Amino acid sequence: MKNIDSRTHVRGESVYLDDIPVIQGTLFGAAFGSPVAHGLIKNLNLAAAEAMPGVVRILTYKDVTGENQIGGIIPDEPLLAEHHVDYCGMPVAFVIAETDDEARAAVKRITIDIEPLLVITDPREAQAVGQLIVPPRTFRLGDSATAWTACDYIVEGTADTNGQEHLYIETQGAYAIPQENNGIKLYSSTQGPTAVQRAVSKSSGLPMHQIDVDVTRLGGGFGGKEDQANMWAALCALAAHILNKPIKYSLHRMEDMAMTGKRHPYSSDFKLGLDKDLKMVAYEVTFYQNAGAAADLSPAVMERTLFHCTNTYFIPNVTATAYSCRTHLPPNTAFRGFGGPQGMFVIEAAIAKAAEELGVHASVIQEKNLQQTGDEFPFGQKAQSEAHACWHKTDELYAVSEIRQKIASFNSVNQLYKKGMALMPICFGISFTNTRMNQARALVHVYTDGSVGVSTGAVEMGQGVNTKMLQVAAHIFSIDSKRVKIQSTSTYRIANTSPSAASATADLNGKAVEIACIEIMRRLKAVAAEELNVDVTSVSLKDEWVYVNGQQTDWDWNRLLIAAYAQRVSLSEHAHYATPDIHYDKSLEKGHPFAYHVYGTAIVEVTVDCLRGTYEIDAVKVVHDFGSSMNPLIDRGQIEGGIVQGIGWMTMEEVVFDKAGRLRSNALSTYKVPDIYSVPKEITIEPLQTETENLALFRSKAVGEPPLMYGIGAYFALRNAVLAFNPSATIPFDAPMTPEKVLLALYHVNPAQTSSYAQTQTANDLAVNP
């Protein structure tokens, strides 16, 4: 089944926040963000801005009617700055004007006197002075301290990954419309309607039942709207509540880039020990997470880094510690993978370093250490592993040694171009790591004309979750999918939702839809049994007809519904689903936090232009553990998108803050993302079809986040291509591997080995004598 939104998408008819027809009298907001990353506010000068045409009101923290607080996990984030600013772009004032141009013109007239304080942008510096968001956490398996003696080889090093802009096509925004008796209707571009409802309730002082957050769809989220839609919604709602007027704020791209948090940069130390058979024996890793100026979701992101610190490998002795470090950057937040990719990069770097020192292919170490079913993760869960199955099917289908051979012979005859490859096995845990969040609800109405309306807590953000919800209802009722409509996501219809996140949205909400539909079907069958005077166990429905003992009757879907209505049987159901069997004990750092894991293996092949430092991604060939995909078109789309987004993070997207905490990569002219020319020339995706029972919706495993991590292979493939040109280069593990870094590495002179470098040709020699 195609994505149900594809028709309106290609016709430009899909409605996003900024497409909602504006009610007469609507006013427009714009935020004034701090120009300084850290300091004390001495004076906020609003008079010039207030005198600007169209300006209705400028709100500051003094106007907040509830609590000036929007922190989700920890209350450490004001809606509007009070006495100090903690990052560049931190909202200090909210201008309301008759048009959005007027609001933005007035923002430019606001000035602020700030007494500057020390700015910290580096997480290790923050840790050194005790600036932590939460106390550090450590996951342990075995005893790494004593295991070093059993190791024949030990490598140590550091590995860094940078941040990443979410760059959802639709920027952040909200539209708040006051209702009678203090109610507020909010359109918000959010992954978490309940998170917005809570933030608005807290900051406005209104009870949650007064706040209807209504979401039709987002133009992308990627985690950036899991928590960080709250700010704009709370500002608009506050203004609507105070002025009793509809208020809209749809951020410009540069406002969005400057004011919102991104993927967390991490700096990490690793130590990896192997025995003579290249089995990994011990691993110690310390993660320094750059959280930014407030907690946001950082503690949860940090936790997922620890959960994924051994990727898809079994290591018997592990000590992994993570620090969430408070810096003066915009609060970093959820981003596809949620800290997992950062953890996985470090173990892959450790393996690459060991392989380079031992002169073997990293894939030899990777393969020898793949986790088996029953192996224990450092957090206590026992693996139900598809790691070997994915790896071996990859080898079988794509012939890894032949690719390696082809690359070697290409490299032996080409001096200006070098190819490289890397294997990237993945393993990603599905469920919110915070157990309580793994619940969802659905509300299903069957109307007497035969049509069905389904509401859930799931937010459609391009990932196709609505299509999957529709498939569930159509399948359980055995009716034409055209009869089913997925309604907008509304906090009036579905309460206390978890955000659409953690790759778990279809599983959680889809199971709730399934439960609701099965209950309505149970009632309908009872009605049919009574009308037809047969035993209920003999009744079934198929393709909109009632069958008795497998024989079609003259009762169809519509006739049955009308009979049910006449019998005063409810045609509506509200259902609840909570993932069974998961638990976690934080005091022990042990438990069974994930419903299941998703596995896969990718081969990434690249070609580096050794004159320019530029490169192309030739191919990404994947075997992916779909379980049993309920929608192969949508799932393949998720994998293709994830791969390209992961490659972007690892190779070209470079978030740059200067020492003063100002974002320099603040527009698409300075922040490069993969475009159609830089995507892999070939992407092949083969399923690992598994029939084993799992907790996924229709056994169709979650597909949102896992494929992003295939992109990590691009970093190591590029590294291998560079080393083919300059074997003595010392290349720090410092992603992204931008063309600039590739170029520096190609011509890096290792001081210890200057003589060997002198024997390799320079670019100049190569150019004249290719």
User: Binder to ligand MOS among 285, 291, 334, 743 (CB under 6 A)?
Assistant: 334
Type of residue at 184: I
DSSP string, 265-303: PEEEEEEEEE-TT--EEEEEEEEEEEEESS-TTHHHHHH
Q: What letter does residue 327 receive in the DSSP assignment?
A: -
Within 546-575, the residues that bind ligand MOS by CB under 6 A are none
Task: Select the residue interacting with ligand LUZ from 69, 182, 415, 434 (CB under 6 A).
Answer: 434
Figure out which of the listed residues 245, 264, 304, 636 binds ligand LUZ, where binding follows CB under 6 A. Answer: 304
Among 283, 338, 715, 733, contact with ligand MOS (rule: CB under 6 A)? 338
Span from 84-92, 428-436, 509-517, 653-661 in contact with ligand LUZ (CB under 6 A): 428-436
| Number of Cβ within a 10 Å radius of residue 434 | 16
Total residues at the site for ligand MOS (CB under 6 A)? 10
Residue 704 beta carbon to ligand LUZ: minimum distance, rounded to whole angstroms: 8
Q: Is residue 501 at the binding interface for ligand LUZ, with CB under 6 A as the rule? A: yes
The binder of 433, among ligand MOS, ligand LUZ, none, by C-beta within 5 to 8 A per type, is ligand LUZ
Q: How far apart are CA 642 and CA 704, in angstroms?
A: 8
If one asks whether residue 214 binds ligand MOS (CB under 6 A), the answer comes out as no
290 is written with which tokens? 């750059």
Residue 350, classed as helix, strand or coil, is helix
Question: Binding to ligand LUZ by residue 465, rule CB under 6 A?
Answer: no
CB-nearer residue toward ligand MOS: 191 or 471: 191
Is 379 an interacting residue with respect to ligand LUZ (CB under 6 A)?
no
335 binds, among ligand LUZ, ligand MOS, none (CB under 5 to 8 A by kind): ligand MOS
Q: Which of residues 488-517 bind ligand MOS (CB under 6 A)?
A: 501-502
Regarding 334 and contact with ligand LUZ (CB under 6 A), the answer is yes
Residue 573 touches which of ligand LUZ, ligand MOS, none (Cβ within 5-8 Å per kind): none
DSSP state of 313: B
What DSSP letter does each residue of 206-231 carry, written as one string?
A: --GGGEEEEE---S--TTTTTSTTHH
Q: Which of 328, 336, 468, 701 binds ligand MOS (CB under 6 A)?
A: 336
438 contact choice in ligand MOS, ligand LUZ, none (CB below 5 to 8 Å, kind-dependent): none
Per DSSP, the three-state class of 176 is strand
Q: How far is the CB of 386 from ligand MOS (least distance, A)?
A: 21
191 binds ligand MOS (CB under 6 A): yes
Buried b (16+ CB within 10 A) or exposed e, 551-590: eebebebebbbebbeeeeeebebbbebebeebebeeeebb
Distances (CA, A) of 421 to 328, 411, 602: 38, 12, 10
Q: In 10 A of CB 360, how many CB atoms?
A: 12
Furthest C-alpha separation in the chain? 95
Q: Catalytic residue numbers?
A: 705
Cα–chain-centroid distance for residue 495?
Answer: 23
Name the amino acid, one letter, at 131: Q
Contacting range for ligand LUZ; rule: CB under 6 A; set: 14-22, 432-440, 639-647, 648-656: 432-440
Residue 335 within binding range of ligand MOS, rule CB under 6 A? yes
Least distance to ligand MOS from the beta carbon of 580, Å?
A: 21
Cβ-Cβ contacts under 8 Å for 528 (sequence gap 6 or more): 536, 539, 541, 546, 555, 560, 563
Q: Is residue 496 near ligand LUZ by the rule CB under 6 A?
A: no
Q: Is 625 one of the binding residues for ligand MOS (CB under 6 A)?
A: no
From the list ligand LUZ, ligand MOS, none, partner contacted by residue 434 (C-beta under 5 to 8 A by kind):
ligand LUZ
Question: Residue 433 has what DSSP assignment?
Answer: S
Site for ligand MOS contains 711 (CB under 6 A): no
Q: Is 338 in the site for ligand LUZ (CB under 6 A)?
A: yes
Q: Mask: binding to ligand MOS, 91-130, rule CB under 6 A, as x and -?
A: ----------------------------------------
Instruction: Using alpha carbons only, give the angle 107, 112, 118 rounded to the nearest 5 degrees.
Output: 125
CA 99 to chain centre: 34
Q: For the CB of residue 325, give the shortest distance to ligand LUZ in the complex, in Å.
A: 20
Interface with ligand LUZ in residues 557-576 (CB under 6 A): none
Among 300, 315, 459, 622, binds ligand LUZ (CB under 6 A): 300
Instruction: Tell me how long the chain is.
Output: 770
What CA–CA distance (Å, rounded) separates 649 from 651?
6
For residues 351 and 719, give the distance between their C-alpha atoms in angstroms, rounded to a whole number.
13
Interacting residues toward ligand LUZ by CB under 6 A:
223, 226, 297, 300, 304, 334, 338, 432-434, 437, 501-502
Residues that bind ligand MOS (CB under 6 A): 191, 223, 226, 334-336, 338, 501-502, 705
